[in-house]
């Protein structure tokens, strides 16, 4: 069997809760908000406004009602912003199902003023 140099430990992937990082000695990372998985952050955003920047020239601001592992989202009270050389066109929508393949960036809290 091969020996590792002193001070090197094997770190297993997909440990507790599917996290892909090694736990620090004596620390509890589950309580550290900077170590959230993306799905955990999205779960905390359910019921609040979220700003969705899509691939292309569109952005959405709406209330996140739900999502799945593919980042498909159900949004309510949505404002769609479409950017063109002529200017910005806005469209108000009640409820939409957004395909996660179109998402480039998610910003919790909604669009800044």
Q: What is the pLDDT of residue 6?
A: 55
45: left (phi over 0), alpha (psi -120 to 50) or beta: alpha
Mean pLDDT of 7-33: 49
Digit-coded pLDDT (tens) for 72-92? 999 999 999 999 999 999 999
Tell me the C-alpha distance between 10 and 1, whole Å: 15
Digit-coded pLDDT (tens) for 38-63? 888 899 999 999 999 999 999 999 99
Per DSSP, the chain holds a count of helices (H) and strands (E) of 1, 5
Task: Answer with the residue of higher pLDDT: 81 or 31.
Answer: 81
Tell me the C-alpha distance between 91 and 52, whole Å: 15
Structure tokens at 95: 């409820």
Tell me the C-alpha distance between 37 and 41, whole Å: 6
């Amino acid at each position: 069997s091969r020996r590792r140099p002193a001070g090197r430990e094997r770190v297993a992937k997909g440990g507790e809760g599917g996290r892909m990082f090694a736990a620090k000695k004596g620390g509890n990372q589950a309580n550290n908000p900077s170590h959230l998985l993306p799905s955990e952050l999205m779960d905390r955003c359910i019921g609040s406004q979220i700003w969705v920047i899509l691939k292309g020239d569109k952005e959405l601001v709406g209330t996140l009602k739900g999502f799945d592992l593919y980042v498909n989202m159900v949004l309510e009270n949505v404002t769609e912003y479409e950017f063109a050389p002529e200017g910005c066109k806005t469209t108000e929508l009640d409820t939409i199902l957004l395909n996660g393949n179109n998402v480039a960036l998610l910003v919790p809290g909604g669009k800044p003023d």
